[in-house]
Amino acid sequence: MSTSALPYRPHNHDACVAQALADARAICQQRNARLTPTRERVLELIWQSHKPLGAYDVLAVLAEDGHNAAPPTVYRALDFLQQYGLVHRIASLNAFVGCTHAGKHHNGMFLICRSCGNVLELTAPDVAKAVSQAASAEAFQPEDVMIEIAGLCPACRANAPHD
Amino acid sequence: MSTSALPYRPHNHDACVAQALADARAICQQRNARLTPTRERVLELIWQSHKPLGAYDVLAVLAEDGHNAAPPTVYRALDFLQQYGLVHRIASLNAFVGCTHAGKHHNGMFLICRSCGNVLELTAPDVAKAVSQAASAEAFQPEDVMIEIAGLCPACRANAPHD
DNA sequence: TTTGCAAATGTTATAATGTTGCAAATTTTC
DNA sequence: GAAAATTTGCAACATTATAACATTTGCAAA
C-alpha cells in the first residue's frame, strides 16, 4: 500500500473509516488517552467526509445527531484529535482532515485540489529534508512545519485542462 | 545583501520601509496598477511593523490616522497588495507581512518564531524543487504553495534554550 | 463506599476574522 | 466632457474561534 491517501483512487469508504477509527482507538489506548464518544464521533465525521471539514460543519452534523453541542465542544474534540495526531488542521481552509499516518506525530504535506476540494496527505522525505536544511541555515529551530499546496488534482486537470 | 529579511540582523528600519515603498511604487507603475493612498498606507503600516499584522490591527491604525475605514477597505487593500506580490498572508497567523522579494510573484517560505513573533521570508530553491517533484509524482498541478514553519529563531533559542 | 481530584463536558456570551451588496466618488478612456 | 471602469464608503452580516465559569464524569485513595 502506498503512503498516499484517498481521493484519487477508489476505495471502500466505510471500511476506510472503520479502519481509521480502529487505529485511533488503539493509539489512544496505548497512550492512555480517552477517546470519548464525542471525540470518536467527531473523528468519524471528519473521516466520512474525506474532504476538509470545518468546525461548524462538524457542529451541524452533531446537531442532526441530536447532540446539542456548542462550538467549544467541537473545538475541544478537534484539539484533542490534533494532539494525538489523528487529524490535521488545514490552515489555508480553516478545516480539518483525517490523518492518514496516524500516531506518528509528523507534519504532512497537503495537496489541496481547488476544484473538487479533495486533499491528499503526503509524506515527502525530500521535502522534509530540504525544509530542515533551509531552517538550519538560518539557525532556526523548526517545531511545526505546515506545507499546503493548492492546485489541481489529476482528475480535475483531466476534466478542465485549460483552467 | 542576503535574500533573507529583517528580524535577525539590525537594520535601519525607516530606510527599509522607505525602500519597500519605493519598490512598490515602481512595481505598480510598471504594471499599470494604482497604488492609491490607502493601499500605500496599508503597505507602509505592514512594513513598519515587521511582525505579521492582522487586518484589524491595520484597521486600528488607520482609525488613529483619522481615516474612518471599515473592514472591507483593509481587506481590499490587502488583496491588492497580495495580488502584486507586495505582501504575503501568513495563513497560520491570519496576518500579513511585507514581501521581501516584491514583484516576483513567488511563493516564499516563512520561518515564524513562536517566541518573539518575528517572521523571516526565505527563498529556498531546494525546497521548491522537492515540493514540485512530490506534487508531480502524484500528477498534481501546484498553483499556490504555502510553507510556514513555526519554531524558535536563533535569538529566542539563545534566550530560552530549554523550551 | 464514599470522598476527593483531575479530566471532560456543558453553557453562555463574546471576540476575532472575513464577506456581500450596493451606492457614491474618483479616475481613466474615448 | 461624457461614458466606462475602477476604487472607495458604508452597513449589515457571516464565519471562525475563544473566554469564563458551572457541572458532570471517571477513577483512585482512604
Q: What is the 3-state secondary structure (H, E, C) of A32-69?
A: CCCCCHHHHHHHHHHHHHCCCECHHHHHHHHHHHCCCC
Asked if the Cβ of residue B8 lies within 7 A of any atom of strand C, the reply is: no
B1 inside domain:
no
Which among B127, B135, B151 has the least Cβ separation from residue A140?
A: B151
> Can you tell me the distance from the alpha carbon of A57 to that of A65, in angstroms, rounded to the nearest whole number?
13
Residue A86's contacts (CB-CB under 8 Å, 6 or more residues apart) are A24, A27, A43, A98, A99, A102, A103
CB atoms A130 and B135 under 8 Å: no
Q: Please give the pLDDT value at position B161.
A: 61
The answer, yes or no, to whether residue B60 has pLDDT greater than 60, is: yes
Contact between A92 and B146 using a beta-carbon 8 Å cutoff: yes
Whether A73 maps to a domain, the answer reads: yes
- Predicted local distance difference test score (pLDDT) of residue A57: 98
Rounded to whole angstroms, the distance from the CA of residue B60 to the C1' of nucleotide D12 is 20
What's the N-to-C CA distance of chain B in angstroms? 32
The grid coordinates listed for A59 are: 457542529
pLDDT of res. A101 = 87
CATH code, A66: 1.10.10.10
**Nearest alpha carbon to residue A35 among A72, A70, A87, A71:** A87
Region B140-161 average pLDDT: 93
- Asked, for residue B7, whether it belongs to a domain, the answer is no
Min Cα–Cα distance to chain B from A87, Å: 16
- Grid look-up 488503539 returns A26
* Predicted local confidence at residue B5, as pLDDT: 43
Q: Residue B2 above 50 pLDDT?
A: no
Position A147 in a domain: yes
> What pLDDT sits at residue A9?
58
A75/A56 Cα distance (integer angstroms): 9
Name residue A119's beta-bridge partners: A112
Q: How far is A27 from chain B (nearest CA, A)?
A: 26
In a domain, A1, yes or no: no
Average of per-residue pLDDT values in chain B: 90
Q: Tell me whether residue B8 is in a domain.
A: no
Q: pLDDT (tens digit, 9 = 90+) per residue, B91-131?
A: 999 999 999 987 666 778 999 999 999 999 999 999 999 99
What per-residue confidence (pLDDT) applies to A1? 39
- Give CB contacts under 8 A, 24+ apart, made by B82-89: B84/B24, B84/B27, B84/B28, B84/B31, B84/B33, B85/B27, B86/B24, B86/B27, B86/B43, B87/B43, B87/B46, B88/B121
Residue B117: inside a domain? yes
* pLDDT confidence of residue B10: 63
Q: How confident is the model over B125-151, as a mean pLDDT?
A: 96
pLDDT value of position A76? 98
Determine whether the interchain pair B143/A135 forms a contact, defined as Cβ–Cβ distance below 8 Å.
Answer: no
Q: Which residue has the higher pLDDT, B50 or B138?
A: B138
With 90 as the cut, is the pLDDT of residue B83 above it? yes
Q: Is residue A33's beta carbon less than 7 angstroms from any atom in nucleic acid strand C?
A: yes
Q: How far apart are CA A70 and CA A7, in angstroms?
A: 30
What are the Cα distances from residue A127, in Å, to A89, A111, B22?
19, 13, 35
pLDDT value of residue A117: 95
If chain A, 163 residues long, is cut into consecutive pieces of 10 residues, what is the mean pLDDT of each piece? Answer: 46 87 95 96 94 97 94 98 97 96 79 95 94 97 96 92 53
Instruction: Round to whole Å and give the CA distance between A30 and A40.
Output: 16
Amino acid at B77: A
Label the pairing between strands B119-122 and B109-113: antiparallel
Interatomic CA–C1' length for residue B152 and nucleotide D27, angstroms: 39
What's the domain count of chain B?
1
In a domain, B6, yes or no: no
Cβ-defined contact of B152 to A135 (cutoff 8 Å): no
Residue span of the structural domain in which B148 resides: 13-159
pLDDT given at position B9: 57
Average pLDDT, chain A: 90
